[in-house]
Amino acid sequence: MATTDLHYRGLVEVGREIQANKLSPVEVTKAMLQRIEKLDGKLKSYAYVTPELALEEAASAEKEIAAGKVKGPLHGVPIAVKDLCWVKGVPAAHGMTIHRDYRPSEDATVVARLKNAGAIILGKLQQTEGAYADHHPKIDPPKNPWNDELWSGVSSSGSGSATAAGLCFGSLGTDTGGSIRFPSAANGVTGLKPTWGRVSRYGAYELAATLDHIGPMARSAIDCGAMLSVIAGADPKDTTAVPLPVPNYVANLPGDLKGMVIGVDRRWTSEGTDEAATKVFEDALRVAKDLGATITEIVFPDAQAVTDDWFPLCGIETAVAHEHTYPSRKDEYGPGLAGLIELGRQQSGMDYQKIVLRREAFRGAVRALFETVDLIAIPAQASAAPTLARMAALGEDASLIGGLLRFTCPFDMTGSPTITLPGGFAPNGGPIGFQFVGRHFDEARLVAAGDAFQRVTDWHTRHPAL
């Protein structure tokens, strides 16, 4: 197959051919760089493209593979990372103008691990300002490749757009309130938010330290699992990275859901959820049942208070992360991020402690659910394939973002792992996703469930016409 036909194939699939010397990593990288040059002027998914770095890494990978020194499934495969992840010598703006000239002197831990695994870094992907809800007013937001009038998701907007458009074989995103899951659902790709503490955050700009998760976005659950196997694990540079063994997430996948118990709270998942999102969710449950899963009714703890608490908690942590530049350089901030920081700065110590206590109680209630179920199934978001016109007020309209966060931020507050899978399309042509949520550090079960679903469905193999 010619390299021009490769851009929509899976990361692991292409990797196998590269590692078997059937494809040249240099030629594949050149093809991807040419595709970026051709399409990204319109899509604007990349903040920075690094062709020299990518071709240098590809040449090294080609020599190593030819010599029989294969490092694993990512070796020789072109990927990209969210702008907030440091890449040595490459600008790391964090979606902001303040940091646009900063060039880190080292790689983020996740980037170093990707490079050590032989992955080719094509560049840095665009994101919202500070990884919150809005793009900085001076930055052009990435476009949704399915329809440029549709929302591309936040804050890992460039990661979703580039992965869906075939401008990389996989990407890194981050998730603080839904920022892997929103763009995965909006762009029709698979996103894996690991357990908080599973992946080191060293060398990645903070939005909110106890809520931030770094994870993979790719074509499939298998591709996400392959990436997570590389980036996960303890890190002396980040002592919050938990020192548990890292499984091979793509080994011994059963291909079905036999023996798996999936919990569903149908009241919570249906109230306020539109018809298209509901249909995709119910269809996904039917597939899960056909694959051998037992679907059982649960009562999910009331998530309204913890969703409301997410805003001031995120604001407090963001204010700490930005204390060196805000308010001293307030005029250089966009209104959305500035508003979040102001909210955080208004909270008292008493307010903060009450939030912490409610968060811990909610975390315990969710943990208790996993004593009787293996996974929880929920929609990705209540409104399917929202338009840009509808989402224009996202950063400043608390009711709008509150509805959006309903199925996402509770699991940033608990630190639970989730996988977002493409499950259908809205009447306006936009992709729709759904989620499985797992026990802490049980990402292997999420990958297995996602893989089983994707073996019998083809939503993840559908791509925008570009």
Among 227, 240, 305, 297, which Cα is nearest to 266's? 297
Backbone angles phi, psi at 192, to 5 degrees: -120, 110
Q: Residue 95 and residue 176: Cα distance in Å, rounded?
A: 15
Instruction: Work out whether strand 170-175 and strand 190-193 pair parallel, antiparallel, or are unpaired.
Output: unpaired
Query: Which residue matches tokens 């639970």?
Result: 416
| Amino acid identity, position 462 | R
DSSP classification of residue 114: H
Is-catalytic flag, 383? no
Is-catalytic flag, 45? no
The encoded tokens of residue 144 equal 């949704």
Instruction: Work out whether strand 418-425 and strand 190-193 pair parallel, antiparallel, or are unpaired.
Output: antiparallel
**CB-CB contact of 312 with 343 (8 Å):** yes
Q: Count CB neighbours of 294 within 10 A.
A: 15
Catalytic choice (152, 155, 161, 229): 155
Is-catalytic flag, 155? yes
Catalytic choice (24, 156, 179, 200): 179
DSSP classification of residue 5: G
**CB-CB contact of 16 with 23 (8 Å):** no
Active site amino acids: 82, 155, 179
